[in-house]
Every structure is written in structure tokens, then in C-alpha cells.
A and B are shown apart, each in its own frame.
Chain A
Amino acid sequence: MRGITFDVAHMLAGSLVLVSFMQLYQDRLYALLNIFALHALILAASVAWQAFIQDAPHLYLTAMIALVFKAIVIPVALHRIIVKLGIHREIETAVGVGPAMLLGMGLVALSMVVMLRVTAEADPLAREDLAFALSVVLLGLLMMVTRRNAVSQVIGFMSLENGLVLAATGAKGMPLVVEISVAFSVLIAFIVIGIFLFRIRERFDTVDLQALDRFRGERR
């Protein structure tokens, strides 16, 4: 039984990393959205599995949130925004997909190296889980950094946060997990609304330079 539970959890976590990679090489927004939905779905599954094996019912709530909010509500909302702002065209990336992938590989390797130094008596499940979570987090961050497009950056942030939830749920008996996931959902909602409100079109970048030039006179 132990083996099975472990393998399933392991498989789910691993596939989460995989999906993060898939996100990295999407260059259409819609596709990216769908992939992210998948990402959230897998997260929900793995959280649910954790809930099952740790028989911690409150985790089911977290899984629920992940499923409903991340896999459905947010993608739909973003879809709306994309349509509304008419930006459903190619994503321009700061770093090409190829290099991004390579970087991603490097990051995953790094997180493995860092995590596998953890001595074995920390239970292996947690260890593997953390390794994967870390790589998901890093990949999410990488996504935020390499994409210019606001929406895809939000998606990057969300997948980063998925990694957090993965880690949190993997941490057996950690309190406040639900609250945290809720808090994060609120945070993300904020961001999405922010994008929508401030009409931040293509990218975060637009709000910067010219604004600085025009208004603040900080620049010569």
C-alpha cells in the first residue's frame, strides 16, 4: 500500500512539473490557458490524493478550490479578458522558447540537487514532493520572467503558487493549508482584476518607462 500511495503521489507531482514545461513552450495564449487549466487539474488531483492518503479531509477543500477556482473560474475570466482586450495573438517572449526550455531543465536539475541533499530520514515522500514543488515554483517564476504578456505572467504566477500548494499539501499535517490556498486565490483574483482594471494591455512593461519619463521627471 505504502508503495502505491507513494508512486501515485510521485506520478502526480512529476506530471505537474511536466505540465509546467508544456506551459513553457506554448506560444498561443488560448493554448497556454488550456494547459494551465490542466496544470490546476493535476494539482487538484494530487491534493485530493494527499488528502486521501493523509486522510486529512480539510485538504479536499483545498483540492476543491484548486479545481473550481484555478481550473475553471480563472481560465474563463482570463479568456474573457483576452477577448475583451483583443490580445489573442502570439505571445512575445523575452527569452526564446528554446533557451527557456534549457533554463527550465537547468532549474529542475538545480532543485533536484538542492533537495536530494536532504537526508533520507526526512520521509522520502516529502523529499520527492518538495523536489518537484521547488521545480514547479522555479519554472513558474521562469515563466513570469520570460513572458512579456501580462496574462501569461499571471499564469506563471499561478503555476508558481500551484507549486506552493503542492508543497504545502505534501507537508503532512501542516496547519493553515486551506487558509493559505484561499488567501492565494484572493491574491490572484486581485491580480486578475488589476490587469483588467488598469487596462494593462500587452505587458506590465507598458506602465513603466514612458510613464516615468512623462510624469516624474526622475529621468533626464
Chain B
Amino acid sequence: MALIRELAFQGAQMLVVLLLAPLLTGFVRKVKARLLRRQGPPLLQPYLDLIRLTRKDVVLANNASWLFRAIPYIVFAGTWVAVSLVPTFRSGLVFSWSADLIAIIALLGSARFFLALAGLDVGTSFGGIGSSREVMIASLAEPAMLMIVFTLALVAGSTQLSTMAAFMVSPEVGLRVSLGLALIALLMVAIAENARIPIDNPATHLELTMVHEAMVLEYSGRHLALIELSAALKLLLYISLVGCLFTPWGIAGPDASVQAIAAGAVLYLAKLAAGGFLLALFETAIAKMRVFRVPAFLGAALMLGLLATLLLFVSRSL
């Protein structure tokens, strides 16, 4: 009985994130437009785009292989599973122990791995640019992310997201330099991972500046829809990750009352909104940097992460 309830929660969570993701993207776009004094697309535009794309035929390059057609599903699945394991409004998801934070990072990693392959499959120069830059960025972003995970895991004594979140609300966290550093690093990584300004520009179609867009250049129709959706999911994932790690307040416990859960849900939406708003604000405030400045940016994130880990011992020896 309890199991079924848990499964239901799990399913609900998965559906929620799936449904919320495009909204979040739309919200960010809207806010950006507003900050630029533009009207901007309607809030639900992403949904419409997705639907339209899925309706269209796929136009496939002549020499695209079976792998090219399989990849959108793989990427989507990987991202979706990853995000569905992040506690959003209720921690202690039934399957959360099937993958801890490291595994979630790795899942996103495999999604990226296949996306990069897709960039190379058709054999165009732009795809190549995209993939090669993507892996270069990833080669710095992933270690940085892992260092952040180290920091948090060492603080919380666990890599299990639910446990971490639970620990983060508990009083013995205290204010720590490491956590601050970790937060900054995490934000930097999140920006890079989601191909946002200043690393990459989700809206650009100026070839030489594209990274993510260049990889998926050859995709169309439902394939493109899936990839857009997984991109949105990824954004959601990172924001909720920041949410549940650094602002874990309100996340309902495993055996919480309905009200608590409702409150958690509301709070969660608020967090998403806040995150999206800040992101939009940041993006409008800053200019995109040259591709070969990116390593410096992410290297800084990596250093911050490492520093955070090392400072732990100084702040309080565990």
C-alpha cells in the first residue's frame, strides 16, 4: 500500500517536472524580453512549439545513421530520469536511492555524450564545432560539478540527495565558507551546463558562436522537440537542484501531511520562479564571452569547488 503511494508520488513528480519544464523556459524568455522592454512571446509558447514540432515530419540528412535517430530518445530519457530523482517539493522519493547525486551528474553526462555524437553523425562542419566545444566545456564543467558534490557530500556525509536536503535544513549546517563557494561554483556550472549566456546563447543562430545549437543543427520535427524538451528539463533540474541543496526549506518529508506537501509544492514553484527570474536578470546583464574564455570561467568554478572541499577541513575537521 505504502509502496503504491510512494510510486504514485514518484510518478507525480516525474509528470510535474515534465510539465513544468517548458513553462520555466517560457518564463525565463518572457522575463528576459520584459527586461529588454520587449513584449516577448507568450508564456506558453514553448508548449506550442513542442507540439508543432512533434506534428511535423522529420527531415533527416541523407547519411544520418540509426544512431542519429535513436539519440533524441536516449537524451530525453537520460535527462528525464535524472531530473525525476531530484527532490522537488517532497524528499525521500521511492527511487531516489537508485541514483545518488554522482549518478545524476553521470546520467546528464551520458545524455551529453550522445548529443555530442549526434553532432558528428551527419558529418557537417558545424556539428563538429558544436560537439568539440561541448566536450571541451564538459571536460571542465563535470569535474567542477563533482567537486561541488564532494563539498556537499562531505558536509552532509552522504551523496544521497534526500539525505543531503534533509541535512541542509537541519540546524547543524551553520554558515560555512565552503558552502558559499560551492553555491557560486554550482551556479557557474549550471550556467555552462544549460548553455546560457555568457557561455553559450540559446537564442543565437550565428554559426560561429553556437555550441549547443550547432550540435543539434541537423535535427528537426519530433527529434528536435525531444531535444528542446530535454534542454528545458535540464534547466529545471539545475534550478531545483540549487533549490533543494541551498534553499531546502519547505520540502516535505517522506511522511508529511497533505498540507505540508501542498506548501512544499507552492514553495517549489516560488523557487523555480525566483531562479528563472535571477537567471534572466543575469543573462540580460552580461555579455557572451568568447569560446576560449570559457575554460577560464569553468576553471575558476573547478578551483572554487576544490577550494570549497579543502576549506571544509579548515572550517571544521570532520
Q: Do chains A and B touch in the complex (CB under 8 A)?
A: no
